[in-house]
Amino acid sequence: MNRFKCNAGKALLRVALGVCAIGVASLSAAAAPDNNGSTETVSARPNVLLIVADDLGYSDLGAFGGEIPTPNLDQLANQGMLLTNHYVTPTCSPTRAALMSGTDNHLAGLGTMGELLPRAPKLQGKPGYEGYLNDRVYWLPEILRDAGYHTYMAGKWHLGKEPEQWPVARGFEQSLALINGGGSHFAPVPGKPIFADRAQYVENDQRTQLPADFYSSNSYTDKLIQYIKQDHGDGKPFFAWAAYTAPHWPLHAPDEDIAKFKGKYAAGYEAIRTARLERLRKLGLIGEDAQPNAGLPTSKDYPSWDMLSPEEQADEARRMEVYAAMVHNMDSNVGRLIQTLKDLGEYDNTLVIFMSDNGAEPTDSFFPANENTDNSLENIGRRLSNVGYGARWAEVSASPFRLFKGWTTEGGVSSPAFVRLPGQHAATPRIEVPTHVTDIAPTILDFAGIPLPEGNQYNGRSVHPMSGVSLAPVLKGEAGSEQLANRALAGELFGGRYVRSGKWKLVSVMTPFADNQWELYDLERDRSESHDVAAEHPEVVKHMVQLWDDYALKNGVVFAPNKRMPDARRGAPSEIKLSGETAH
């Protein structure tokens, strides 16, 4: 079948982008808002469970308007606080660098993705563009380990491929880590390698081979449960990072999970998106009168559902069925983690944080098929298949926002996120002011009662201060959110830029979907970024540009827009190889 999907997405995520924060060091106390949630007496040093999904769109979870059954994550969200304006970077490794350091990704080493550096001579050798989590920032797991926490992770690392850059060298006591940006969710089929099988795994300081029954979400969860259980009872709290690779390309899921969604997506993109928008309104996540972004103009590259042949519709529906199965399976594994904590008597002493690393992935596949690849309809989602779900389904996942992973629009940098406090069993009001990925590390340290040392020195090395802020006072109801609402957030990746201050967002969007000129949106009225009001508010544009310039100077941003970004609408080449590494 002639594929029509997002060549622009393929090219873009060869190039990868990122977002950053201009923040203040801490929030001062303010009048405490009413807190309707009940909390129990908990330890002064709670456990921390950090759950990160990979390429999950804003409206994929039930708690955020999705139709995919996610009862375990929904229950956590409904016991906690939704972060409805949580910002990440447009792609995964810059987000992970900011998450693990509490610092802008341009300072932490991922000013651009490491896979892109060979093709970006202007960035090579520049501070903050090392392509891995550098040693000039704090490492969250190291700080927690040094303060007496067990530190565990299982899943995607993507923050350095050399042994001295692995999780064990950044403070994780125990880790099973996917070093690459992506790879098969199953173990390789003996004698039939496909490109996605090139992923490298390490456990602690040793490379490891995957067992025959490996499936990413199941196996990561097994390993975290093993780590938590083996040390339980020694009196030390733990920090556990469940770094799931679901629902990242390639779309793979166990047959029993895929079977649950057979026929569920036969109605097509538009119908599923319309239903999500109605649920978003009922949940109050968008206003009754809010209009979603219209999406990409219909064309041969981005067809509507009724433009597809029956065979193409069946293929498209199958891809979304597998995507839904991946999300549902991940949710089931989160349920296993939570049940383990309950069985061990640790659930009510655990801070739970959930987020996605960026927006939904718009690509239908990253690398060409070889003689072993089987992308037949009946095999999509199984071993040897190698597909994504493309731009139109990514627009569904990003509802109600504009575009998706790779862009600095809301669909690329808005993450579904929530926090469940230790002992919390009833929801508290949503935090609707902007929060940022760099806030997570200082928030965790605040709950753990761990102050950062003065002087920006740690273990003999000079480090940048954390640029995020602790959300703990707001989460606990001890402070208002005014300072969060009024700070400026900004980011850049691949030449795509944004800055948000108050209700305003200034954004420049890369080709192929715009010309990289500044656009201005009033997010209080138009979070879908449908109506550019730059011409009506030149004074706001001038002020916002100055904020972005200040941010870029402070964080060492090297502004080098990618000049090779192809446009799918003009017949762009579909593949760009990157020395055998996945570029996302």
Query: Is residue 560 helix, strand or coil?
Result: coil
User: Closest Cα to residue 447, out of 23, 50, 7?
Assistant: 50
Decide: 147 and 446 in contact? Cβ < 8 Å: no
Residue 48 CA to residue 269 CA, distance in Å, equals 37
- Report the chain's terminal Cα–Cα distance, integer Å: 26
- Give the active site residue among 86, 158, 252, 584: 158
Angle at 565 between CA 559 and CA 567, to 5 degrees: 140
- Give the active site residue among 92, 106, 150, 436: 92
Q: Is 92 a catalytic residue?
A: yes
How many C-beta atoms lie closer than 10 Å to residue 342's C-beta? Answer: 12
Strand order in the sheet with 414-420: 206-208, 201-203, 174-178, 150-156, 238-243, 47-53, 350-356, 414-420, 81-87, 435-436
Decide: 242 and 155 in contact? Cβ < 8 Å: yes
Q: Is 584 a catalytic residue?
A: no
Q: What is the dihedral of CA 470, 476, 478, 484, to 10 degrees?
A: 40
Backbone angles phi, psi at 275, to 5 degrees: -65, -40
User: Closest Cα to residue 391, out of 81, 96, 5?
Assistant: 5
Which residue matches tokens 């006072």? 473
Residue 581 CA to residue 198 CA, distance in Å, equals 8
Q: Residue 480 region, left (φ>0) first, then alpha (ψ -120 to 50), else beta?
A: beta
Burial letters for 296-311: b for 16+ Cβ neighbours within 10 Å, e otherwise? beeeebbbebeebeee
- Taking every pair of Cα atoms in the chain, the longest distance, rounded to a whole number of angstroms, is 65
Helix (H) or strand (E) holding 501: strand 496-501
Decide: 265 and 272 in contact? Cβ < 8 Å: yes
Residue 152 CA to residue 426 CA, distance in Å, equals 28
Measured N-to-C along each axis, helices 269-282 and 390-397 cross at an angle, to the nearest 10 degrees, of 10
**Which tokens go with 560?**
């080098």
**Angstrom distances, CA of residue 319 to CA of 119, 196, 298, 373, 391:** 32, 17, 20, 16, 12
Would you please indicate which residues are annotated as catalytic (active-site) residues?
Answer: 92, 158
